[in-house]
Amino acid sequence: MAMSTGAPTDSDTPMSDINTTPLVDVMLVLLIIFLITVPVVVQNIKLKLPDVKYDPTTTKPENVSLSVVEDTSGNCAVYWNLTRVTHEELLKRAVDKLESEVKRLGGAANLTPDDLPEAHIRGDVNVPYKCIGGAIYTMQMAGFAKVGFISQPPPNVVPGE
């Protein structure tokens, strides 16, 4: 810190020196803060986000339609078509559905990825993510390779454009 140590010759003359030490201290602290935060702000991964198109859903009869909502007690409620199912029932139904489709198509050797059924999930906007995440996890655990979401396009949007 700057400090005047000399004896003034005239005690009535005002001191004309400015103490710049606090200013320099503040500036150094700000410089250090900017040096630390700028690299964090500048770092990013270059990627191209997909263009969102609202294509109408083509549903095949073998696809599974799930609805996920939160019931009145705050628990997750999953519906297979219109039937409410538990986690265990969902897993069993999904495994049975895949097995029946494999048998219907003539065995695993005759399958292509397009032949397998898909799981379409409709999630309520207010449902917690854990409910939807649980349904996704269960369907993938059962063997469903394609799990998608059904959403509502914003108003005044023509599908496919």
- Express each pLDDT in 13-39 by its tens digit: 777 778 888 889 999 999 998 888 877
User: Per the structure, how many domains does the chain have?
Assistant: 1
Residue ranges, the chain, pLDDT below 70: 1-11, 40-57, 153-161
Q: What is the pLDDT of residue 37?
A: 80
Q: Which domain holds residue 136?
A: 64-149
* In a domain? residue 79: yes
* In a domain? residue 20: no
* In a domain? residue 135: yes
Q: What is the pLDDT of residue 110?
A: 76
Q: What is the pLDDT of residue 90?
A: 93
CATH code for position 76: 3.30.420.270
| H-run or E-run covering 121 | strand 119-123
Cα gap 157→54, rounded to integer Å: 8
* In a domain? residue 77: yes
* In a domain? residue 145: yes
Q: What is the pLDDT of residue 156?
A: 65
Q: What is the pLDDT of residue 47?
A: 56
Cα gap 97→142, rounded to integer Å: 9
* In a domain? residue 15: no
Cα gap 43→37, rounded to integer Å: 10
* In a domain? residue 75: yes
**Identity at 122, one-letter amino acid code:** R
* In a domain? residue 125: yes
Q: What is the pLDDT of residue 126?
A: 84
Tell me the CA distances in angstroms from 71 to 58, 74, 130, 139, 144, one per residue in order: 29, 5, 14, 21, 26
Q: What is the pLDDT of residue 138?
A: 93
